[in-house]
């Protein structure tokens, strides 16, 4: 008698050429991920081989009930670490039946920025450090914390090992390997300053692919925490008080920054970012004002400053970049729940296309 696990893990490759494509999209809140699956003939090697699909936008807060159809356009494909084989995950964006991007489709405008000849010529690289907090399912309290109570103060938890300091490593490692399997350019993981908080890094990724990879990495993390019976917090400051928040530090460079003389290009880019500080902050995640207090490795939300190796700055430049005269900058302002399409597109638009007037 086959068990449920046996059936879930069935290898279909020897009995059919059909595969399962899990279509993923972003829901009405701008941070919730939705997905549904369909059967297609495989293998699929490019999103253009996939059909468009539709869903009920009235159930995701993206369309009225009397005209509820929203169309999914496949944009990027990844190997499916859950079903394995030739099955795939498909990152989509969303349109009306008339072909117009719906208001929550932030990928559309980002793709326009990245397709601009001036931006494409600069080959913008991103490395995004995605922090997140794991919560106990029934009490919405961080993993490893005593229910209704607090652990010892921050200090021993960052990049730590041990049952009293590192909580949820099995989830973290499962996510790491699943992202590598999927083809996401995940470049590392580490335990963060607050217990129950972790970080993964994606990049370097070029242009629009940075947003695609972060969103699919988030989806995979949601699925793994679902299996583990753990809740992934979407809050940039899940615990008030003297505890670190959860950010998404965004490392960025252009071709000009990476070449000799690039340090001067970086300083000019930082000057532009400073002039549009309020505009960027408004788009860098809901609830970010609770995280950007100036007390936990960030500048105050109303202050823009930059520095070399300064983790209390809005923009940090590494010692290696200063010494070599070229490299990258780190925008420390984005919150955990930022939309990577918005942040990456805005950084490129401000530093490359905006004239700074």
* 270-284 pLDDT, tens digit each: 999 999 999 999 999
Rg (alpha carbons) of the chain, rounded to whole number: 21
CA distance linking residue 34 with residue 129, whole number of Å: 23
Q: What's residue 241's pLDDT?
A: 84
What's the mean pLDDT in 156-185? 97
- Cα(first)–Cα(last) distance of the chain, in Å? 72
CA distance linking residue 301 with residue 219, whole number of Å: 29
- Asked if the structure places residue 299 within a domain, the reply is yes
- How many structural domains compose the chain? 2
* 177-203 pLDDT, tens digit each: 999 999 999 999 999 999 999 999 999
Q: What's residue 355's pLDDT?
A: 87
* 86-104 pLDDT, tens digit each: 999 999 999 999 999 999 9
- Asked if the structure places residue 110 within a domain, the reply is no
Give the number of C-alpha atoms closer than 13 A to the C-alpha of residue 311, restricted to the C-beta side.
5
**Reported confidence tier of residue 226, pLDDT bands at 50, 70, 90:** very high
| End residue of a domain, out of 104, 136, 167 | 104
> 285 and 259, same structural domain?
yes
> 335 and 249, same structural domain?
yes
- Asked if the structure places residue 111 within a domain, the reply is no
The 3-state DSSP class for residue 187 equals strand
* 46-73 pLDDT, tens digit each: 999 999 999 999 999 999 988 899 999 9
Q: Are 349 and 335 in contact (CB under 8 A)?
A: no
Q: What's residue 295's pLDDT?
A: 67
- Give the domain extent around 186: 117-353
Between residues 296 and 242, which one has the greater pLDDT?
Answer: 242
Largest Cα–Cα separation, the chain: 72
What are the structure tokens assigned to 330, written together?
A: 């780190």
The Cβ of residue 313 has, within 10 Å, a number of other Cβ atoms equal to 21
> 281 and 170, same structural domain?
yes
Q: What's residue 245's pLDDT?
A: 86
Q: What's residue 240's pLDDT?
A: 86
Residue 296 has pLDDT above 80, yes or no: no
The proportion of the chain whose per-residue pLDDT surpasses 90, expressed as a percent, equals 82
* 7-49 pLDDT, tens digit each: 988 888 889 999 999 999 999 999 999 999 999 999 999 999 9
* 319-328 pLDDT, tens digit each: 999 999 999 9
Task: Write the CATH number for 92.
Answer: 3.10.20.70
Kindly report whether the peptide bond that precedes residue 204 is cis, defined as omega within 30 degrees of 0.
Answer: yes
Task: Write the CATH number for 140.
Answer: 3.30.590.10
The 3-state DSSP class for residue 211 equals helix
> 318 and 266, same structural domain?
yes
CA distance linking residue 202 with residue 118, whole number of Å: 24
What are the structure tokens assigned to 23, written together?
A: 């279509």
DSSP 21-65: EEEEEE-TTSS-EEEEEEEEES---SGGGSPPEEEEGGGTTSS-G
Q: What's residue 173's pLDDT?
A: 98
| End residue of a domain, out of 104, 126, 151 | 104
> 250 and 226, same structural domain?
yes
> 147 and 280, same structural domain?
yes
Query: pTM for the full model?
Result: 0.96
For the chain, what is the mean pLDDT? 94
> 245 and 159, same structural domain?
yes
Q: What's residue 297's pLDDT?
A: 59
**Reported confidence tier of residue 129, pLDDT bands at 50, 70, 90:** very high
Residue 299 has pLDDT above 80, yes or no: no
- Asked if the structure places residue 160 within a domain, the reply is yes
> 168 and 220, same structural domain?
yes
> 215 and 98, same structural domain?
no
| End residue of a domain, out of 104, 133, 156 | 104
């Amino acid at each position: 008698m086959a068990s449920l696990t046996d059936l879930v893990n069935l290898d279909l490759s020897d009995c059919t050429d059909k595969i399962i494509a899990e279509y993923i999209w972003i829901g009405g809140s701008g941070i919730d991920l939705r997905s549904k699956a369909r059967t297609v003939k495989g293998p699929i090697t490019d999103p253009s081989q996939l059909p468009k699909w539709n869903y009920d936008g009235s159930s995701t807060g993206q369309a009225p009930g009397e005209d509820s159809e929203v169309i999914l356009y496949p944009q990027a494909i990844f190997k499916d670490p859950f079903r394995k084989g030739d099955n795939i995950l498909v990152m989509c964006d969303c349109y009306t039946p008339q072909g117009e991007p719906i208001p929550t489709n932030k990928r559309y405008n980002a793709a326009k920025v990245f397709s601009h000849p001036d931006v494409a010529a600069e080959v913008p690289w991103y490395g995004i450090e995605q922090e997140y907090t794991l919560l106990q399912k029934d009490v919405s309290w961080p993993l490893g914390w005593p229910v209704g109570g607090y652990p010892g103060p921050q200090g021993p938890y960052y990049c730590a090992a041990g049952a009293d300091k590192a909580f949820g490593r099995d989830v973290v490692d499962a996510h790491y390997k699943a992202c590598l399997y999927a083809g996401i350019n995940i470049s590392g993981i580490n335990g963060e300053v607050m217990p129950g908080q972790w970080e993964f890094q994606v990049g370097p990724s070029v242009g629009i692919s940075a947003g695609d990879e972060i969103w699919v990495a988030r989806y995979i993390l949601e699925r793994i925490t679902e299996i583990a019976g753990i809740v992934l917090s979407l809050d940039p400051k899940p615990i008030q008080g003297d505890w670190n928040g959860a950010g998404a530090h965004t490392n960025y460079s252009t071709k000009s920054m990476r070449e000799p003389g690039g340090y001067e290009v970086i300083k000019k880019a930082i000057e532009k970012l400073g002039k549009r500080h309020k505009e960027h902050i408004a788009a860098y995640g809901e609830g970010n004002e609770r995280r950007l207090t100036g007390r936990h490795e960030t500048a105050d939300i109303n202050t823009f400053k930059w520095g070399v190796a300064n983790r209390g700055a809005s923009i940090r430049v590494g010692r290696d970049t200063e010494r070599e005269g070229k490299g990258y900058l780190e925008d420390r302002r984005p919150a955990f729940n930022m939309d990577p399409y918005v942040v990456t597109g805005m950084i490129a638009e401000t530093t490359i296309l905006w004239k700074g007037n």
